[in-house]
């Protein structure tokens, strides 16, 4: 039976103490995807965005997405932790998987790279939870992302907030908010291997 991750998010939120907001380190892939997720999560958590995406190529594209990530934070109440571009980290984990199809093993390794850094920083910073915007994208499997997040949460001793943000029209809402905020929305996932594929909902 498939796990209903949206239900797990609901249950987690329902179990939060009534006073104060727990801290959450939210890995964000880009401004548009973070818009709906922030609108939703900042009602329940004190959110800090982690912009760590060595998969984005070239560096100019990384900077462009970072610019629009900052734009989102003019509208929604969260802080940001920005990481310097580290394309070599992605090249290392993608070596040998360059021709893997989008959604295959290269992507699993890419999720792991980004979420491990999020878990590490969450542990280091004493955050109560960590999470990612990645599950808002229609073609990114919530199952795989949550499996990785749960395992990393155990390893680093920080609670993973399970999610499937594409549910409840989360993706649609992110498109509307991106229009409202005047954000740039790229049409490829991030790495050079996904560039030009323009698969619907691959971002």
CA 36 to chain centre: 12
> Is 194 in contact with 188 (CB distance < 8 Å)?
yes
Instruction: Tell me whether strands 79-82 and 46-51 are parallel, antiparallel or unpaired.
Output: parallel
User: 159 phi and psi, to 5 degrees?
Assistant: -70, 130
Decide: is 40 part of the binding site for ligand SF4 (CB under 6 A): no
**CB nearer to ligand SF4: pick between 133 and 194:** 194
Q: Which of 39, 61, 102, 199 binds ligand SF4 (CB under 6 A)?
A: 102
Question: To the nearest whole angstrom, how small is the minimum distance from the Cβ of residue 202 to ligand SF4?
Answer: 7
Residues 171-190 that bind ligand SF4 (CB under 6 A): 189-190
**CB nearer to ligand SF4: pick between 110 and 131:** 110
Question: To the nearest whole angstrom, how small is the minimum distance from the Cβ of residue 81 to ligand SF4?
Answer: 20
- For the chain, how big is the Rg over CA atoms in Å? 16
Residues 6+ apart with CB under 8 A from 117: 27, 50, 52, 83
Decide: is 135 part of the binding site for ligand SF4 (CB under 6 A): no
Here the tokens at position 104 are: 């295959």
Question: To the nearest whole angstrom, how small is the minimum distance from the Cβ of residue 13 to ligand SF4?
Answer: 27
Decide: is 106 part of the binding site for ligand SF4 (CB under 6 A): yes
Handedness of CA 170, 114, 70, 194 (dihedral sign): negative
Decide: is 47 part of the binding site for ligand SF4 (CB under 6 A): no
- Residues within the interface to ligand SF4 (CB under 6 A): 55, 102, 106-107, 110, 189-191, 193-194
């Amino acid at each position: 039976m498939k796990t209903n991750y949206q239900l797990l998010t609901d249950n987690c939120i329902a179990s939060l103490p009534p006073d104060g907001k727990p801290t959450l380190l939210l890995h964000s892939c880009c401004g548009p995807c973070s818009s709906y997720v922030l609108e939703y999560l900042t009602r329940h958590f004190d959110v800090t965005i982690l912009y760590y995406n060595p998969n984005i190529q070239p560096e100019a594209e990384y900077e462009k997405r970072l610019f629009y990530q900052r734009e989102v934070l003019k509208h929604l109440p969260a802080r940001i932790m920005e990481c310097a571009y580290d394309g070599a980290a992605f090249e290392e984990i993608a070596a040998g998987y360059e021709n893997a199809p989008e959604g295959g093993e290269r992507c699993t390794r890419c999720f792991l790279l980004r979420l491990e850094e999020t878990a590490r920083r969450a542990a280091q910073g004493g955050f109560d939870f960590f999470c990612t915007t990645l599950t808002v994208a229609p073609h990114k499997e919530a199952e795989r992302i949550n499996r990785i997040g749960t395992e990393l949460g155990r390893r680093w001793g920080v609670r993973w907030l399970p999610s499937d943000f594409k549910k409840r029209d989360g993706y649609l809402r992110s498109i509307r908010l991106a229009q409202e905020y005047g954000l740039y929305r790229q049409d490829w996932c991030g790495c050079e291997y996904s560039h030009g594929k323009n698969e619907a909902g691959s971002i």
